[in-house]
Amino acid sequence: MKTKINKNIINFSLTIIIFIALFSYMIIVDGWANIVIIVKQIEPIWFTVAAFLLLTYWILEAVILNIVTKKVCKKGKFINSLRISMIGQLFNNLTPFSSGGQPMQAVAMVKSGISITSSATILLIKFIIYQTILVLYTSFIIIFKYAYFKELVSGFITLSIVGFVINLVVITSLIMVGINKEFIYGILKTIYKYLDKIGFIKNVDKELEKLRQNMDLFHQEFKIIRKEKIMIIKTSVLTILQLTAFSSITYAVYRAFGETKYNIIDVISAQTFLMMIMAFIPTPGAGGAAEGGFYVIFKTFFAQNEIKMAILFWRIYTFYLPILVGVIFLIFKPKNKVEVIEVLKEQAEEIIEMQKKNCEN
């Protein structure tokens, strides 16, 4: 527990350092007087639009989580789903590869009265839906905008394709496990055995047993996804709207600086390429790389004296505000009438039921 706390402190400190470094760089290079002039020229209505889009993104995230929660648990309050969503936003931005969001959401779910098994199922279903739509969304952008952005930022297009391939491999692997777990297990078993030979894995049999258990659990949960077609359609449409709202924040920032040369489709497409690059950057919130990527991709969209200020405002909306609001939701703990013993009882019943199904199979 102390190790996790220390890591979060380090990641939070790194976030603050990046913010201070970016702001200091702007003052040194552009000068305080020029920054004041630029700020006075900004159109405040578009910053209001950006805030509305960010709020829309958060609400859609909570709505999707609530839909899945109600399907799995037959119950679930929206305010609880909103809190869990914002906790995910907080720890996704504080951890490399957004790896800390789901574990902390699972903890928050259990504390709110949802069993560990149900929590894992809910988060896994939501993750698969999100990743699938993200791959389809980015595929569409790549097909129709690849030639344009290849000329604009050729080096970063390669990185964005790598990010796309990583996301595609992840979701394809998950779907394959859900459809044919034995085939994937055979492949992974061969890999594990090889890693054991070269000394990379200790106690390979124990690790393979863990892998088998996780794959069996996932296979059971995947059946829910295949069965609940209406839920999948609803959450998929909402996820498309969610991704569009998030990418449109950049367009609102773009218009706030009085720029009108590029349309919203161009800006959303450029932001989507940037999202793919950020997907495999191993720093909290892709810190450093996100700012650098924004500069390279959007430097032709903004005037030279605006780009650094645009980066700062964009990161405030997409990085710093989610952390700040996430902290508030983390601190705020709604009264929970569900006793811990009831949660444990429900969890035990689910495990027994799952074991019965496995024995029957």
How many Å apart are CA 219 and CA 115, to the nearest integer? 19
pLDDT band at 79 (very low <50, low <70, confident <90, very high): very high
CB atoms within 10 A of CB 5: 9
Residue 306 DSSP code? T
Residue 288 is encoded by which pair of tokens?
A: 């450093």
Q: How far is CA 228 from the centre of its chain?
A: 23
Asked if residues 137 and 272 have their Cβ atoms less than 8 Å apart, the reply is yes
Q: Assign residue 7 a region: left if phi > 0, alpha if psi is -120 to 50, beta otherwise?
A: alpha
Determine the Cα–Cα distance for residues 50 and 54; give it in Å rounded to an integer: 6
Please state the rounded mean pLDDT for residues 175-197. Answer: 81
CB atoms near residue 256 (< 10 Å) = 22
Distance between CA 227 and CA 47 in Å, rounded? 42
Residue 42: pLDDT band with limits 50, 70, 90: confident
Read off the pTM.
Answer: 0.79
How confident is the model at residue 100, as a pLDDT?
A: 74
Most confident of 16-20, 40-44, 75-79: 75-79
Q: Is the dihedral of CA 296, 297, 300, 306 positive or negative?
A: negative
pLDDT, position 1 = 47
pLDDT at 336 over 60: no
Is 220 in contact with 354 (CB distance < 8 Å)? yes
* Domain total in the chain: 1
Nearest to 249 by CA among 298, 287, 182: 298
- Does residue 195 or residue 88 have the better pLDDT? 88
Is the confidence at residue 339, as pLDDT, over 50?
no
Q: Which residues contact 224 (CB under 8 A, 6 or more apart)?
A: 71, 72, 121, 125
Q: Is the pLDDT of residue 41 over 90?
A: no
Mean pLDDT, residues 25-42: 59
Does residue 358 register a pLDDT over 60?
A: no
Q: What is the pLDDT of residue 62?
A: 96
Supply the range of the domain harboring residue 59: 2-360
pLDDT at position 343 is: 47
